[in-house]
Amino acid sequence: MKKSSLVLLLAVLAGTPTARAADIIGTVTLNGTPPPEVPYTPLMNDPTCGAMYTTTPTTHFYVVGSNHELANAIVSLKGITGKSTGANQPPVTLDQKGCLYVPQILAIQTGQKLVVKNSDSCIHNVHCVPAVSGNPESNQVQMPGGPDLTFAFPQPEMFMKFKCDVHPWMFAWVSVYDSPYFGMSDKEGKFIIKNVPPGKYTVEADHRKLGTLTKDVEVKDSDVTVDFAFDVK
Ligand SMILES: [Cu+2]
């Protein structure tokens, strides 16, 4: 047995408290009634795209549950850089389906692959427009049944815009983090930031339409709960 393994075994047997990473968990909610979603009328006016729907789809800017739970808020540790594990993480997929990007809000790490698919029977033109220097702009046609497109970005950036030059209503927003310490709220408003080392942090919640909230927390050796409540502007 290696000496390091022996030390670990003895520590476990003795019940010695060792500093361990904990999770930051919480719920994101929205107070108030958000503005109504916008029907994708131009989509319906496009013969090819419109034929994919029987009723007009709408935007999903505010995904809110019956108890005010808010989805698509990205919660992250502020000011953590240079900790990316993105190159070793599985790719994240962005699909084009029904002439819309699915999902429209994503979060990845620097160096992590973003794979863009075209599940439609029509052509799309994937055009990412980064605002941060060092993240390359890219503009590529993607045929129906064509090969996936793969992207990766070296610099952190909030809500980088992806658009389609064929269909001007198509947008996705990709946030790029320089660490693994982020999580997105789901339809129950719940998020999790896993394996956070002990320390004091500012936790930031970002929603593309609602802005940013922050809270300070201290992580010790057990999970910490941090809830965020946005207000309709
Ligand atoms: Cu398109």
- Whole-number Å distance, alpha carbon 137 to ligand 1 midpoint, is 17
- Whole-number Å distance, alpha carbon 98 to ligand 1 midpoint, is 9
- Whole-number Å distance, alpha carbon 36 to ligand 1 midpoint, is 24
pLDDT tens digit sequence for 119-156: 999 999 999 999 999 999 999 999 998 999 999 999 99
Dump the DSSP string for the chain. Answer: --HHHHHHHHHHHTT------EEEEEEEEEESPPPPPPB-HHHHHSHHHHTT-SS--B--S--B-TT-BB-S-EEEETT--S---GGGSPPEEEEEETTEEESSEEEEETT--EEEEE-SSS-EEEEEE--STTSPPEEEEE-TTPPPEEE--SS-EEEEEEEESSSTT-EEEEEEESSS-EEE--TTSEEEEEEEPSEEEEEEEEETTTEEEEEEEEE-SS-EE--EEEE--
- Whole-number Å distance, alpha carbon 95 to ligand 1 midpoint, is 11
This prediction's pTM? 0.90
pLDDT tens digit sequence for 3-59: 555 555 554 555 545 567 899 999 999 999 999 999 999 999 999 999 999 999 999
- Whole-number Å distance, alpha carbon 123 to ligand 1 midpoint, is 6
- Whole-number Å distance, alpha carbon 121 to ligand 1 midpoint, is 11
- Whole-number Å distance, alpha carbon 177 to ligand 1 midpoint, is 26
- Whole-number Å distance, alpha carbon 118 to ligand 1 midpoint, is 9
- Whole-number Å distance, alpha carbon 164 to ligand 1 midpoint, is 5
